[in-house]
Amino acid sequence: MKILEFPTYLATRRNHALEHATIHMLARKYADKNLAGHSNPTGFFLFGDMSTEDIRTAVNEAMSRLRAGESDLAIHPGCGTNLATSMVLPMTFASVPFQGTRSNRRLLLLPVALMFAVLGYVLSKPLGPWLQRNVTTEADLGNLQVQEIIPIRNGVHRIITK
């Protein structure tokens, strides 16, 4: 069994896809609001000033559209995967010129490190969505069902799935 298919990880990936698709649906009505989410194996949280009924409608539409094959809804430009990739890759690339270099020569390598960082940043732009599509989300929801949508407090909802 591949690690991406372990039940806990697969559930998280499916919830992550549904979270993204739901945010895509909500963004049409709440374009002026900051929306965010966080997924885990038992569902996801949505952050933003939205009504529970609007969330219910968005979740149902998101599930229908994902099940109809609209897998691109599982990818979101504001995903933390993109943010992490845009930070880690440039930092990693920038460190390459300094490997094995004496400390008194490091200052001379700053321009090279900067060029490597820029290259890492450019490469991170297609890599983030690729990672979402292939690692951090799963657009095939399988038998995922929404059990409950709970308003936790103003601006926070918990969507429980099974």
Q: pTM for the full model?
A: 0.90
What pLDDT is attached to residue 1?
66
Q: Cite the residue boundaries of each domain of the chain with CATH code 3.30.980.
A: 3-75+137-161
3-75+137-161 CATH fold: Threonyl-tRNA Synthetase; Chain A, domain 2 (3.30.980)
Sign of CA dihedral 109, 110, 113, 114: negative
On the question of pLDDT at 144 being above 90, the answer is yes
CA distances to 85, 115, 117, 123 from 111, in Å: 22, 6, 10, 19
Q: What does the pLDDT average to over 32-56?
A: 97
Percent of the chain topping pLDDT 90: 93
Q: Please name the residue that has the structure tokens 């900051």.
A: 34
